[in-house]
Chains A and B, each alone.
Chain A
Amino acid sequence: MTNSVAAIFNKQFKDIMKNSDVLSQFIIYPVMAFVMTNLIDMNMPGMPDSYFIVMFAGMFVGMAFIGAVAIAIAEDIESNALRFLLMAGVKSHEYLLGLGGVYFVFIAIGSAAFSAMMPNASTTEMFLMFLSMAMSGIASIIIGAIIGMTSKNQQEAIGRGTFAGMIISFGPFTATMSQNDTLLRVFRFFYTMNFVDEDTSTMEAVESFGIIWANILLFALIFAFVYGKRENKGGNTVSKKAIMYIVIAAVVGYAGVTGFRWHNAGFIATDNAHVATTTVPIPATGSGVLERFSLQEGQHVTAGEVLGWVEGADAMRSPVDGLVIQTHAVQGQRVSPMETVAVISDASNVHIQANIEEGDILNVYVGQKVYVRIDTFGRHQFEGRVAGIGATALPPRGFATRATLLIPVEIHLTDDVDLARLIGVNASVHIPLR
């Protein structure tokens, strides 16, 4: 068993390394993604940073590997090489395992490269991208194996492989670009449309992994059917072991995804959060020259404190305790009534604003316990409570019109910490749901 799988693996690896047609396909997609992402300034407003990475990842996993696996198997069948292996006592599932294993190694290397290229992704996000790509690769290998085993010769495998690869890679791409509802509804269920990139929310990620897994299972079943038929035709007994392995893999994987879902359903996390507060504009009290006005940005003011005068009018007073965050005028300047001369931050209302994705917002409620990390304090974790949930979503910033919308959630820290001078500093929040 081990000997045969290792022998096939070695053979296929050497063969790929000597086959520049195949090798160049494996290299061109990651290289293109890198070039488009880093070397050419596409300058399209609102385009996600990982746009080309996800696009080429789809072609890499779909186009390159379905074709490569299909052709490799068809070549071994056409040239009679597979017959000699079977005659030497190699079981067909050992052959497929050894051969598929090599392509999986190449997919894993490529997936790691694509994931590492994502410009603003955290390690976790990179890992999830890697995992979603590598799992998708398994689906592609199985599709390639189905095509390879059912093709009479290499030409047929090339034709069918290209056709399948086109649909699987370009379908999702076209759906995303066109934002056509029907296409989106269909291709949502294709594994190549379910890579988990840095813009994917936790809930979407769980769904994506579920869809990828369902794809793998579906193709594995088709494969088992085709495989059984072929084995019968060849006069050998159906290898029940192979089907058993698929079933075991299905059960283990299903348990894995369920576990993942259970674990991830347990919390909402985002690092789209920052220290925020209410800001109060200070209007000029009348028309005239600004007198005794010497506010500095960052200066602390108390409620009722006189901030300055306008010639012949009332004193301007701060309504709140806080910091001067902006000054818009200088002493001696002529101002008109209601013109903003300064902006004060409200020190009593300093809070964390977390922007939660629309898919997660229904799980958030006022009073919910929240853990907050603020960049200034490194990995120190503060506790807080949800104090309010925004009534409207923030305007979309995505390239696609159906971008995931964000809803601002106000969090008050229960820990005693002075954030008045940290307005705008980035934070990340973790909201346990159980």
Chain B
Amino acid sequence: MINVQSVEKSFGEQKVLTGVTFEVKEKEIFGLLGPSGSGKTTLINILTRQLDADGGSTHINATPFETGLMLDEDGLYPRLTCTENLDVFRQIYNMPAEATAKALEDVGLAEAAKKPVSALSKGMRQRLALARAILHSPKVLFLDEPTGALDPRTTEGIHELITQIRDAGATIFLTTHNMEEAVKLCDRVVLLHKGQIVEQGEPLEICERHKSMRTIPDLGNVFIKMTGADLYD
């Protein structure tokens, strides 16, 4: 579904991505893991065509209209209601009026439909951003830190939603620095450190590979072992 070959990117002198290569299969939840500054956001920007790579190639088996996006900064209109926010995109996608109500229903915001975004909690905003991303039933969904800074209960809800969306047939590409989230949610992950992939595969398989470690071989410890850096730095 997504094919990334030897992608390179520099900002001035600083090398942000070096020879990044991986593949995302159809209908899987794929996790891009790494601490802040590892190049996750740059990679998601390249994949969503907001940035050009300096070298290598990316191929996504979906048109921009078949792509959904949820970023850390949600870009919602604070003065407009939930419905009005979604209606902007519904109209751009030329979809019937019911689509908005359905998307709000899907993320459990039906009752807040008439509330202005400025009156929503952080978790509700995240869910609304997700509703906007899935409004047009995209084939590929990019989620940048979908549960960043959310309380455990809201995170739980978002996880359920992501799984449901995948079960409905979408391919999901998400970034996170939360290893538990990755293990629980992702079919496969890549670990990114300073713009390079240090490990990739199924989360449990990765842990298995490193079981000779002295500490419990969870993804966080694997990361520390391989890079000497803490994921949460």
**Lowest 3 A-B CB distances belong to which pairs?**
A80-B75, A7-B91, A81-B75
- A320 CB-CB contact with B under 8 Å: no
List, in ascending order, chain B residues with CB within 8 A of A10's CB: 87-88, 91
A4 to B78, CA, bound (A): 20
Which residues in window 68-113 of B have CB below 8 A to A?
A: 69, 71, 73-80, 84, 87-89, 91-94
Can you name the residue of chain B whose Cβ is closest to the Cβ of A83?
B75
Interface string of A52-83 (1 = CB under 8 A from B): 00000000000000000000000000011111
B93 contacts A88, CB within 8 Å?
Answer: yes
- A89 CB-CB contact with B under 8 Å: yes
Residue from A3, A19, A80, A87 within 8 A of B79 (CB atoms):
A19
A87 contacts B69, CB within 8 Å?
Answer: yes
A sample of 21 inter-chain contacts (CB < 8 A) reads: A3-B91, A3-B93, A6-B91, A7-B89, A7-B92, A10-B87, A11-B84, A11-B88, A14-B80, A18-B79, A79-B76, A80-B74, A82-B75, A84-B71, A84-B89, A85-B88, A87-B64, A88-B64, A88-B65, A235-B49, A235-B51
- A121 CB-CB contact with B under 8 Å: no
Interface string of B19-32 (1 = CB under 8 A from A): 00000000000000
- B147 CB-CB contact with A under 8 Å: no
Count residues on chain A whose CB falls below 8 Å from chain B CBs: 25
Q: Whole-angstrom distance from the CB of B78 to the nearest CB of chain A?
A: 8
- Which B residues are closer than 8 A to A by beta carbons? 48-52, 64-65, 67, 69, 71, 73-80, 84, 87-89, 91-94, 116, 132
- A interface: dominant SS: helix
List, in ascending order, chain B residues with CB within 8 A of A4's CB: 92
Q: Whole-angstrom distance from the CB of A22 to the nearest CB of chain B?
A: 10
- A280 CB-CB contact with B under 8 Å: no
Residue from A7, A14, A234 within 8 A of B50 (CB atoms):
A234
Q: Whole-angstrom distance from the CB of A88 to the nearest CB of chain B?
A: 5
A87 to B88, CA, bound (A): 13
List, in ascending order, chain B residues with CB within 8 A of A83's CB: 50, 71, 75
A81 contacts B91, CB within 8 Å?
Answer: no
Residue from B75, B77, B87, B89 within 8 A of A15 (CB atoms):
B77
Q: A6-B91, A8-B88, A89-B65 in contact; A81/B76 too (CB < 8 A)?
A: yes
List, in ascending order, chain A residues with CB within 8 A of B48's CB: 87
List, in ascending order, chain B residues with CB within 8 A of A235's CB: 49-52
**15 additional contacts (CB under 8 A) given A11-B88, A87-B48, A88-B65:** A7-B88, A8-B88, A11-B84, A14-B80, A15-B77, A79-B73, A79-B77, A79-B78, A80-B74, A83-B75, A84-B69, A87-B49, A88-B92, A235-B49, A235-B50
A19 to B94, CA, bound (A): 27
B87 contacts A81, CB within 8 Å?
Answer: no
Q: Whole-angstrom distance from the CB of B179 to the nearest CB of chain A?
A: 27
List, in ascending order, chain A residues with CB within 8 A of B78's CB: 79
B89 contacts A88, CB within 8 Å?
Answer: yes
A87 to B93, CA, bound (A): 12
Can you name the residue of chain B whose Cβ is closest to the Cβ of A7?
B91
Q: Whole-angstrom distance from the CB of B207 to the nearest CB of chain A?
A: 35
Q: A10-B87, A83-B71, A89-B64 in contact; A18/B80 too (CB < 8 A)?
A: yes
